[in-house]
Structure 1
């Protein structure tokens, strides 16, 4: 056997011993990457909204808090016994995570009134359209009560509009919290995944005419600056179903601003959307 062959065998054997020895000395399990539709989301899962309560600050609205914490504003109103027109006040402590073991509140069932709260102490006077029309708002709360309504995971995502990508997601504090897609006025905007429409309106500053869809107990998506909205609150929609038309409400140019939230935290939509 040649000297080169002897050297090759010896080197291979030494490397094998090093690798095996390294594995034998490991005291923790080998790292496993948890994938969601083929994408690693552990980096933002740890930073998602986990608090059970939220203290209302000046300028807050119930809807804005719901969007920030990944909830349907109707659920927040019900959990905190806040009647229409959903007045809240600075310093008020709100429950923002459902307690599955908690018994239904008698107050919420009978009157829905909060205790000794002056309605004139509202932080922001809500716009009527911010909470949908009376017909959609009074639809059974049983729909939002049943956890089985939503899947544990989103089966698939798709692009909400056809157009060029104008702006990407940014992790900067004042950066873009979603992506912007170009288009012409009136172009169709579709649901990016199956879900229930939990908000339609223009009460959130900077978003114009807005649609928010809840896809699971942890995922929401938002479609901003619409010209027209084609769906109503509490309506179930399918991925690819037209929900609005592209416009420029709340912005200077025609575009779709699209956001995805995981447990209330803004995440990069491109992690989920198929590559174009």
Structure 2
């Protein structure tokens, strides 16, 4: 029996790379997609060093033509279409809502929300014909919890969660299982990339908060690696009856629970404090400084 084929988008770094390697070593026939020949070459080099076997395809998920071309190629590679797709490709657009312009907002939604739906349209006919298949969408705890200074990123992930929930119910009778993975913060490079997309600081009413972005990026380097997310994807693909959602990480579970259980005024205050929109009371500030060793 030939191994099941799985397409992983955004396979060149972070969560996508971790998922690609985890699935390949678990025996899946993995096809990793990246946007450029340079990233393709880099991915192949990493895969070769680990001893895994991964095929690659060029794909820009935000380009409809590229999606059609790539999945036509993948259909030929997989005898009609992949058994599963892991929609991982995405990025985080930072900035206050009023500072993010229309073009930036559209790019965020195109990549994180519209692209996974487009890819689902491309792979579902073959899955439906086989009456078997999996679609795994990589969301975030931001799909449940809105954060200031990340409003458009949160909107894209919360939209993805709504679309995924609808898709899961629509495709169930055809034997296709649809799953959400909701990671907390992990060391993936997404925050470093996001810092490069910050709106112009000088003219912004939020320039003080943007100045704190360097600290966020520094803190991101100490986060746990993305392997727990890859293991959750592996579990979702191996399970006979996968869960609709997998929250990954204690931070993600506690943040989601607090956002539901605590009063909105309290969670607003905590989020404003965390992002520098509100100054901490002196006693709290002193306690934080002591924890940081200052």
Category of TM-score, reference length = shorter chain? under 0.3
Structure-2-length-normalised TM-score: 0.21
Larger radius of gyration: 1
Structure-1-length-normalised TM-score: 0.22
- Which protein has the bigger helix share? 2
- Which protein has the bigger strand share? 1
